[in-house]
Amino acid sequence: MPAALDVRAAIRLELGMNKFDFKRLFEWLAHILKCPVCGHRCSLEHSKLIDSKDDKTAINSILIHTDCEKCKSSIVFSIAVDGPEIFSMGMPTDLTSSDTTKFKNSEPLNSDDILATHQFLQEFDGDFREALK
């Protein structure tokens, strides 16, 4: 099954959109989403649904990871649907499609993690070989 069909089905399931709304959203995405690096129109056939949220305020949001066919940049698009209005933002990333799944399923950082990183960086002498042993 092509990746675009996976994205289409996942968006429909996650957002609970009816077929008419979904068709309009997908047509909009296919024509509007452009690579923020080179401006090439992004293809949803090389895209993966990362996450979606159905907010009780009627604002639905989705995150899509895609790779630009022209410049090979990896991009994460944040798309918010608020009734008839659709907002999007593309962000270049160094994450691969599999990285997005890995980080999505990991535990969020807590305050102890942040403090430990801060302390490590204050004491770090710049020797990565020693630090990574």
Range of the domain at 12: 3-106
Give the pLDDT score at 124.
92
Mean pLDDT of the chain: 78
Whether residue 85 is contained in a domain is answered as yes
Tell me how far apart the alpha carbons of residues 97 and 107 are, in angstroms, rounded to a whole number: 18
Strand 59-67 to strand 85-93: parallel, antiparallel, or no bridges (unpaired)?
A: unpaired
Give the pLDDT score at 19.
42
Residues 76, 34, 8, CA angle at the centre, nearest 5°? 65
Instruction: Tell me which residue of 89, 82, 102, 76 sits closest to 15, measured CA to CA.
Output: 82
Beta bridge partners of 80: 61, 87
What domain count does the chain have?
A: 1
- Report CA-CA distances (Å) from 132 to 38, 41, 127: 36, 40, 9
Give the pLDDT score at 85.
78
The more confidently predicted of residues 44 and 11 is: 44
pLDDT confidence tier of residue 8, bands split at 50, 70 and 90: low
Give the pLDDT score at 20.
37
**H or E element that contains 1:** none
Interval 23-29 mean pLDDT: 66
Question: Cα 89 from chain centroid?
Answer: 10
**pLDDT > 90? residue 94:** yes
Cut 0.75: pTM above it: no
* Token representation of residue 9: 């089905």
- What percentage of residues in the chain have a pLDDT greater than 90? 25
Give the pLDDT score at 55.
63
Q: Is 126 helix (H, G, I), strand (E, B) or coil?
A: coil
Phi, psi of 132, deg, nearest 5: -90, 5
Q: Is 132 helix (H, G, I), strand (E, B) or coil?
A: coil
